[in-house]
Chain A
Amino acid sequence: MIANPTAFLTPESGVIGFTQYAQDGFFDELIGEDGAPRAAARPLVERLERLTYGELLGRQRAAERALLHLGITFQVYSDAQGTEKIFPFDIIPRIIDAAEWRQVEKGLKQRIHALNLFIDDIYHEQRILKEGVIPHELILGAKSFRAACVGLNPPHGIWCHITGTDLVRDRDGTLYVLEDNLRCPSGVSYVIENRRIMKSTFPSLFQNTPIRSVGDYPGRLLDTLLHLAPPGIKNPQAVILTPGMYNSAYFEHSFLAQQMGVELVEGRDLVVFDGHVHMRTTGGFERVDVIYRRVDDDFLDPDVFRPDSMLGVPGLMQVYREGRVALANAPGNGIADDKAVYAYVPDMIRFYLGEDTILPNVPTHLCSREKDLAHVLAHLGEMVVKPVNESGGYGMLVGPAASAAECAAFAEKIKANPRNFIAQPTLGLSRAPVIVEGQLEGRHVDLRPYILYGKDIFVLPGGLTRVALRKGSLVVNSSQGGGSKDTWVLADAPHPGAATVC
């Protein structure tokens, strides 16, 4: 008797298929509601279906090995134990078609334009407050408002040079802006390195799919920085200021410095004298004209901000004020990514640009408003509540996942300081397939595109797709079990077989 040969197949030799792939009522980035791949994902799905699971896993392992060897890692605890982990990476990309990306790009440009006008207004005339669009106390009482920045004129009036905006998609397919990260957004190095790895993971797909390149980001970033140099300087010198190698984003700081060919400096490398910022070099002191600082406002200059800062440069802000050094991002711009201010971004867009918002906000309740507060307290179990000045997913309440006691305790915290909290309905974040134990399963994702504001506003076609690797989890932060995926933005017309520049 001959047994059915498939009975001998181990999971390793089984082929990849989406027939068993469950969507559980969420929007899936690659597979449509009918179970068939979305048009943009079709070449990828066809390629995957020609692989066995063992082959796919082999490619996944090869990609992880490459990341480990390149040292694209973050520290778990003591380095002495050699315990460094790669930022988990899943080789199945997320794909965005050209038409949708056009909307995203337009929406982001509009938003950054308005946010920049807002910051400039806040530190000058404060028209938006005077005309009653945003309440005074919301701004002037915010932790991120910097009195030291009032009246400052950064070069070309630009305050937010480098932004990473978090987008999420709800069940119905609508993309929302979840957060504006204007201070020191990180992650772009993963976008570039993930892509490099992906080109050796699926080379044939790159040949046959019009995937837009992300490789020119460092060049564009350098242009953005040099655009800010004080006028009349022939060969302006730009540097990146890092808190140092123990910072969790250190890999990125060093990666960007390497890719742009600029010095990566720490606070102790810089000295202010004769009205300029200088760096200590083996050939003596050299003047520095533009600083891409990855150090928070608070630590930038102990003379002006926190006096105990060891990471900053005493006297830096004075040189900046006098226009002899440029800083990106501009100190003080955090006022525009305060989560309570976020709720007013659509109003800002109307106020400054006279336009309707292209990329919508997630509906947001400000607990500082009495009516909102009552609503939030009554519906705590259905909402996500966030403190306005935290990032990284810290200090928040996810109502549907919290116990009654946790909700009650949180309610007290809100009542004690309503200004400090906002609340949003719990979204059903879209999902994308990831490789888990012998099959593909949907996991929730978000998207962080990167925007540069220099001579004009540039949106990198791609971004960091973060994925909550824990089953059912909505939290994508790397500190809480998140990983990443490459994000493919497709160009308009496919040119099969044409050489792609990635």
Chain B
Amino acid sequence: MLSRVAESIYWMCRYIERADSVARLINVNLNFILDAPSGQTEQWEPLVNITADDAWFKKKYGRATRHAVTTFLTCDRDYPNSIVSCLRAARENARSVREVISMEMWEFLNRFYLEVNQAVAAGTDELYSSMDFLATMRHYGTLLAGCLDNTMSREEPWYFGRLGQLVERADKTSRSLDVKYFHLLPSVQDVGSTLDENQWAALLRSASSFQMYRQKYGRIAPDKVVEFLLLDRNFPRAILHCITRAEEYLHAISGTPMGSFSNAAEQHIGQLRAELAYAGTTEILRTGLHEYLDQFQTKLNRVGSSIHDVYFALQPTTSR
């Protein structure tokens, strides 16, 4: 398939995933606040930290109030990673490849975009508190993921789409884990208080993993939450799961057998997957989760840039 088309599908799916995870974060935080003991200050700053665009935010909005953060994350057209901007980018990418993606994929993405724009046009004050809006987001996010899986052949367009989705998802899970863990750290010794448990539950919920976690571990314990979100092999938003799948799809694209590599993208993701697959939670927590996740993100970025070099930026060789 055309390199440009592969790149557009990859980014289309990254942006859909990005919009989806931002919506989930806001939703969880709103829910969390409704549960929090009255008098407690609302915590919105961590959401800004997760984006890693703190400086950008401070310059435009100043203090991290509920209104400022939700506006920033949902409907700020100037901020490239707001929900509105992500959907616009996803749709622009889709528009440039609509002959390759399935008709359903295009149609639902288009409707998603139109509806979100309509909601945004209706006014930010309505929007930020609107659980309705976030429910719509969840609905379409699920719909699009289903479309990708159920309407497209397991061929290159699908593989590149899934790659984009998985790389983005691994990135977002690692960021929210990092930020939340950092904010919760002071209370790690303080095990057992209601707030604490609610905080950890919120982290699990933001990755839609609360129920699956309960089924596997029952009681909420910080080290188990880390183990689940970072190293679970079977939960679809767990980092190891994402990286394992992404490695498989890269190999499906090139036809190279697993266990070997034919290009830099396969090499880098293989190394990353192996590190995670043989890591242990206790060890990670002892040496520092933040350092570990920081390194993980650097390595994940390297995977992203090698995918770009190998598949999207092909150059004719010298004699040409």
Interface residues of A (CB under 8 A from B): 68-71, 79-80, 82, 244-245, 250, 254-255, 257-258, 263-266, 268-269, 271, 273-274, 279-285
Residues of A within 8 A of B314 (CB): 280-281, 284-285
Is B88 part of the contact surface with A, judged by Cβ < 8 Å?
yes
Pair A254/B110 contact, Cβ less than 8 Å: no
Least CB separation from A82: chain B residue: B117
Closest-CB distance, A270 to chain B (whole angstroms): 10
Pair B106/A271 contact, Cβ less than 8 Å: no
Pair B106/A71 contact, Cβ less than 8 Å: yes
Closest-CB distance, B306 to chain A (whole angstroms): 14
A-B contact pairs, 30 of them (CB 8 A): A69-B110, A69-B111, A69-B114, A71-B107, A71-B110, A79-B88, A79-B92, A80-B77, A82-B118, A245-B95, A250-B95, A254-B95, A258-B98, A258-B100, A263-B1, A263-B2, A268-B4, A269-B2, A273-B316, A273-B320, A279-B2, A280-B2, A280-B3, A280-B4, A282-B1, A282-B6, A282-B311, A283-B1, A284-B314, A285-B314
Cα A80 to Cα B82 with chains together (Å): 13
Pair A281/B110 contact, Cβ less than 8 Å: no
Given contacts A71-B98, A82-B121, A255-B99, contact A265 B2 (CB under 8 A): yes
Least CB separation from A260: chain B residue: B99
Choose one: A82, A271, A283; the contact of B316 (CB below 8 Å).
A271
Pair B4/A258 contact, Cβ less than 8 Å: no
Residues of B within 8 A of A257 (CB): 99
Question: Using a Cβ cutoff of 8 Å, how many contacts connect chains A and B?
Answer: 71
Cα A255 to Cα B111 with chains together (Å): 18
What 3 A-B pairs come out closest when comparing CB atoms?
A: A258-B99, A82-B117, A273-B320
Known: A80-B88, A263-B5, A282-B1. 15 other contacts (CB 8 A): A70-B110, A71-B106, A71-B110, A244-B96, A245-B96, A264-B99, A266-B4, A269-B2, A274-B320, A279-B2, A280-B4, A281-B1, A281-B314, A282-B160, A285-B314
Is B197 part of the contact surface with A, judged by Cβ < 8 Å?
no
Is B253 part of the contact surface with A, judged by Cβ < 8 Å?
yes
Residues of B within 8 A of A283 (CB): 1
Cα A494 to Cα B114 with chains together (Å): 43
Cα A106 to Cα B160 with chains together (Å): 49
Cα A248 to Cα B118 with chains together (Å): 23
Cα A69 to Cα B103 with chains together (Å): 11
Interface residues of B (CB under 8 A from A): 1-6, 77, 88, 92, 95-96, 98-100, 106-107, 110-111, 113-114, 117-118, 121, 156, 160, 253, 311, 314, 316, 319-320
Least CB separation from B118: chain A residue: A82
Pair A254/B99 contact, Cβ less than 8 Å: yes
Residues of A within 8 A of B160 (CB): 282
Which of A255, A266, A268, A282 lies at the interface centre, i.e. has the most chain B CB atoms within 10 A of its CB? A282
Residues of B within 8 A of A285 (CB): 314, 316
Closest-CB distance, B108 to chain A (whole angstroms): 9
Cα A285 to Cα B77 with chains together (Å): 38
Cα A70 to Cα B316 with chains together (Å): 37
Closest-CB distance, A61 to chain B (whole angstroms): 16
Pair A281/B121 contact, Cβ less than 8 Å: no
Pair B320/A281 contact, Cβ less than 8 Å: no
Residues of A within 8 A of B253 (CB): 282
- Chain B residues touching A, majority SS: helix
Residues of A within 8 A of B106 (CB): 71
Cα A2 to Cα B107 with chains together (Å): 52
Residues of B within 8 A of A269 (CB): 2-4
Least CB separation from B107: chain A residue: A69
Least CB separation from B93: chain A residue: A245
Pair A82/B114 contact, Cβ less than 8 Å: yes
Given contacts A69-B107, A281-B2, contact A254 B311 (CB under 8 A): no
Least CB separation from B117: chain A residue: A82
Closest-CB distance, B153 to chain A (whole angstroms): 13
Cα A30 to Cα B27 with chains together (Å): 56
Cα A446 to Cα B168 with chains together (Å): 51
Pair A68/B114 contact, Cβ less than 8 Å: yes
Cα A255 to Cα B106 with chains together (Å): 12
Cα A283 to Cα B96 with chains together (Å): 20
Residues of A within 8 A of B98 (CB): 71, 254, 258
Residues of A within 8 A of B5 (CB): 263
Given contacts A69-B111, A258-B99, contact A271 B320 (CB under 8 A): yes
Pair A282/B110 contact, Cβ less than 8 Å: no
Closest-CB distance, B53 to chain A (whole angstroms): 19
Cα A268 to Cα B88 with chains together (Å): 23
Closest-CB distance, A156 to chain B (whole angstroms): 27
Residues of B within 8 A of A274 (CB): 320
Cα A279 to Cα B4 with chains together (Å): 10
Least CB separation from B121: chain A residue: A82
Cα A69 to Cα B100 with chains together (Å): 18
Closest-CB distance, A311 to chain B (whole angstroms): 14
Residues of A within 8 A of B113 (CB): 82
Cα A285 to Cα B1 with chains together (Å): 10
Least CB separation from B110: chain A residue: A71
Which of B2, B95, B114, B319 lies at the interface centre, i.e. has the most chain A CB atoms within 10 A of its CB? B2
Residues of A within 8 A of B4 (CB): 266, 268-269, 280
Least CB separation from B106: chain A residue: A71
Cα A82 to Cα B115 with chains together (Å): 10
Cα A333 to Cα B320 with chains together (Å): 31
Closest-CB distance, A171 to chain B (whole angstroms): 43
Least CB separation from A261: chain B residue: B99
Least CB separation from B157: chain A residue: A282
Closest-CB distance, A81 to chain B (whole angstroms): 8
Residues of A within 8 A of B110 (CB): 69-71
Which of A69, A71, A273, A284 lies at the interface centre, i.e. has the most chain B CB atoms within 10 A of its CB? A71
Residues of B within 8 A of A265 (CB): 2
Residues of A within 8 A of B320 (CB): 271, 273-274
Cα A278 to Cα B2 with chains together (Å): 11
Residues of A within 8 A of B3 (CB): 269, 280-282
Pair B121/A282 contact, Cβ less than 8 Å: no
Cα A279 to Cα B3 with chains together (Å): 9
Cα A268 to Cα B315 with chains together (Å): 11
Residues of B within 8 A of A273 (CB): 316, 319-320
Closest-CB distance, A227 to chain B (whole angstroms): 22
Cα A127 to Cα B92 with chains together (Å): 50
